Amino acid sequence: MKIVVWLLVLALIIAHQDIWFWNDGTLVFGFIPIGLFYHSCISLTAGFTWFLATIFIWPAELKEES
Amino acid sequence: MTVLIIIGIYLTLLVLLGVSSSLFSRGTKKDYMVASHSIGPFLLLMSIFGTTMTAFALIGSTGDAYQYGIGTYGKLASSSGIIHSLCFFVIGVKLWTFGHKYGYTTQIQFFRDRLDSNNIGIVLFPILVGLVVPYILTGIIGSGALLNGLTLKTFSAGTFPAWMEVDSGGGLPKFIGAPVICLVVLIYVFFGGMRATAWANAFQTIIFMVLGCVMFSIIANNIASEGSILANMQLASSKVDASHATRKDMSQSAFLTYMFIPLSVGMFPHLFQHWLTAKKASNFKLTVVAHPIFIFIVWFPCILLGIWATTDLVTLPPPVAAAPNKILPFMVKQFSGDAVLYGNYLIGFLGAGVLAAIMSSLDSQFLCLGTLFTEDIVTRYAGKDRFSDKSMVLIARCFIVAIVIACLALSFSTFISTNVFILGVWCFSGFSSLFPLVFAALYWKGLTKYGAYACIIASAASWLYLFKLSKYGGDDEFTIQLGSFDVMPVAIMITISTLAMVIVSLITPKPSPQTIAKFFPESKS
């Protein structure tokens, strides 16, 4: 699981460079430009990824401390 | 005048909160500087988030989105959600462990031990202080612009001296607004130290997040007359041109290299001090998880407001259109002001919310400067017993006041860029270029003190050179051309500082085995 979480972090960093919506002006829900919507999803996914990180890759020595 | 009265009441409450927090003080230096390592997860989250979000996040992001469109969110908000939490996780928790174990209160103390170098502070201190100054400037410039923008046409000509009224448009001149904000922050920092700062930050973070959401919904409700807030937002967004609704005018390579800028949190001295306030390492978990979500809550509305300001639904007077820092205050005033439904009461509350974001960073920066000066310069070079505790506190306060006065003078000069976003980017870039140093200190046994010196000097030299090339931040779109690619200056700075650190470390004597054993205990076996 440790590797999966780090791969997720790496995937987020790569997904951040979204060339696919670069010139797309589509409005999601009629008011959010799709580029902004996509990056908002990146923010929320980052929160979830870091949640997984605190569960699966929190340093073992600090687990004992807490 | 109602606006100023409400903001005045808010500032008074803040001072009272800071002063009352001093009642909980244990009266020790450790309590003043790191709140006796007593901060729990919620307070840690709110104080760290409040510290990292400043005028840059609210006023700067709205202004930048007005100029360059939605790409502003990807440049710094979504990237920060990934990278900030990564830094908290891989840098913050580890530094907290060492700080707790060996009693550090500043970064320089850690580096001095880790590098076996008594004089690293002489090089690092002026650079850290020099980089905190532009960060403070963003807060000072932002607060002056905000108070002025919210009070436009409040004062008749001749109320203030003529030189203050230039470009003030009948609002509170920046020469009064900015110093008042600094004074309020100084008062509660002086009274309560880190405990007051953490309390005030938490209070202000709640204020600016709640009022930010309220502000957005009110503006969205009033920006058009389509019958519903959703219909208004749809109309506003449909009027945004392609250059603001997409990133078609933005360089992909510059966007990519913006990703280096959030690394700055790994080297912020004021954040280091906040990390040390945590009672235990597990208190970081909430911060690591919630930080990206909080960034979304604050930045998303600001970006939408910024791009809506480009449409014909918003009539910007030429002085506002020419000053991106004034876009947000102007929209607050235009769409929730006395001409609409809510009167000046709302503007006052909303202004207090934005000021909260600004002050929650200024307080940490002021406190950190005082701590750096007393711990790393006075105590280190004058001796621990040379001055009494009372004298030390006085020295720290005098140093902070001197820095604040210097920052105020700089913010009023035309020498430096007054675009909060650009100034913030330069400041963060400088800290980012020092990121390799803290990362290597924690994870690379081969880092030597000479390598560290090389890294710091290379960072400072490349920053100064590139900042000068950008006309001291005056060139808003300054990038470096590498063949057909535009890259942000931060990418060049990090490359240079990393190369200098690695090359010099490889050819200079390694740290002592005792130092390695102290900071890499797993290597003993």
3-state secondary structure B97-127: HHHHHHCCCCHHHHHHHHCCCCCHHHHHHHH
Residue B525's pLDDT is 45
> Measured at the alpha carbon of residue B323, what is the angle toward residues B321 and B327, in degrees to the nearest 5?
65
Using a CB–CB cutoff of 8 Å, tell me whether B82 touches chain A.
yes
Closest residue on chain A to B239 (Cα): A31
* Bridge-based pairing state of the strands A32-33 and A27-28: antiparallel
Residue B173's pLDDT is 87
Neighbours of A30 (CB within 10 A): 12
Single pTM value for the model: 0.86
B256 contact residues in A (CB cutoff 8 A): 17
The predicted model gives B7-22 an average pLDDT of: 83
Using a CB–CB cutoff of 8 Å, tell me whether B206 touches chain A.
no
Q: How many CA atoms lie within 13 A of A11 on its CB side?
A: 11
Q: How many whole angstroms separate alpha carbon B170 and alpha carbon B139?
A: 22
User: Which residues, numbered 86 to 105 in chain B, qualify as contacts with chain A under a Cβ-Cβ cut-off of 8 Å?
Assistant: 86, 89, 93, 97
The predicted model gives B182-209 an average pLDDT of: 82
Highest mean pLDDT among B73-87, B179-193, B215-229, B364-378: B73-87
> Could you tell me where the DSSP H helices lie in B383-483?
389-412, 420-433, 435-443, 449-469
Q: For residue B514, with 0-12 CB atoms within 10 Å meaning exposed, 13-18 middle and 19 or more buried, which class applies?
A: exposed
> Is the pLDDT assigned to residue A66 strictly greater than 50?
no
Closest residue on chain A to B232 (Cα): A31
> Is the pLDDT assigned to residue B419 strictly greater than 70?
no
User: B213 to chain A, minimum CA–CA distance in Å?
Assistant: 16
Two tokens at B464? 């100064």
Contact present, B50 and B291 (Cβ < 8 Å)? no
Q: Closest Cα to residue B166, out of B409, B474, B179, B174?
A: B174
Q: How many whole angstroms separate alpha carbon B128 and alpha carbon A5?
A: 33
Residue B21's pLDDT is 75
Q: How many CA atoms lie within 13 A of B193 on its CB side?
A: 21
Residue type (1 letter), B391: S
Q: What is the pLDDT of residues A8-60, one digit of tens each?
A: 999 999 999 888 999 998 999 999 999 999 999 999 999 999 999 999 988 77
Matching residue, tokens 């004992």: A64
Comparing B32-41, B43-52, B74-83, B185-194, which segment has the lowest mean pLDDT? B32-41
Q: Closest Cα to residue B427, out of B207, B209, B140?
A: B140
Beta-bridge mates of residue B5: none
Q: What is the pLDDT of residues B315-348, one digit of tens each?
A: 888 878 887 878 888 888 788 755 455 556 767 7
> Measured at the alpha carbon of residue B26, what is the angle toward residues B23 and B32, in degrees to the nearest 5?
90
Top-confidence residue, B131 or B29:
B131
Two tokens at B114? 């880790």
Beta-bridge mates of residue B487: B480
Q: How many angstroms separate the Cα of B428 from the Cα of each of A45, B294, B469, B489? A: 24, 20, 17, 11
B89 contact residues in A (CB cutoff 8 A): 50, 53
Q: What is the pLDDT of residues B118-140, one digit of tens each?
A: 888 889 999 998 888 888 888 88
For residues B471, B472, B475, B480, the Cα torsion angle rounded to the nearest 10 degrees is 80
User: A4 to chain B, minimum CA–CA distance in Å?
Assistant: 15
Contact present, B43 and B216 (Cβ < 8 Å)? no
The complex's ipTM? 0.94
A12 contact residues in B (CB cutoff 8 A): 82
Closest residue on chain B to A13 (Cα): B82
Contact present, B77 and A43 (Cβ < 8 Å)? yes
Q: What is the pLDDT of residues B262-313, one digit of tens each?
A: 999 999 888 888 888 788 888 888 988 999 999 999 999 999 999 999 999 9
Two tokens at B449? 């003190």
> Is the pLDDT assigned to residue B100 strictly greater than 50?
yes
3-state secondary structure B377-392: HHHHHHCCCCCCHHHH
Q: How confident is the model at residue B420 (pLDDT cuts 50, 70, 90)?
A: low
Q: How confident is the model at residue B352 (pLDDT cuts 50, 70, 90)?
A: confident
Q: Closest Cα to residue B324, out of B417, B409, B415?
A: B417
Two tokens at B125? 């201190």
Span between the terminal Cα atoms of chain A, in Å: 21
> Is the pLDDT assigned to residue B94 strictly greater than 70?
yes
Q: What is the secondary structure of A10-41 as a DSSP string?
A: HHHHHHHS--TTTT--PEETTTEEHHHHHHHH
Q: How many whole angstroms separate alpha carbon B41 and alpha carbon B354?
A: 24
Residue B524's pLDDT is 53
Residues 6+ apart with CB under 8 A from B249: B68, B69, B243
> Is the pLDDT assigned to residue A65 strictly greater than 60?
no
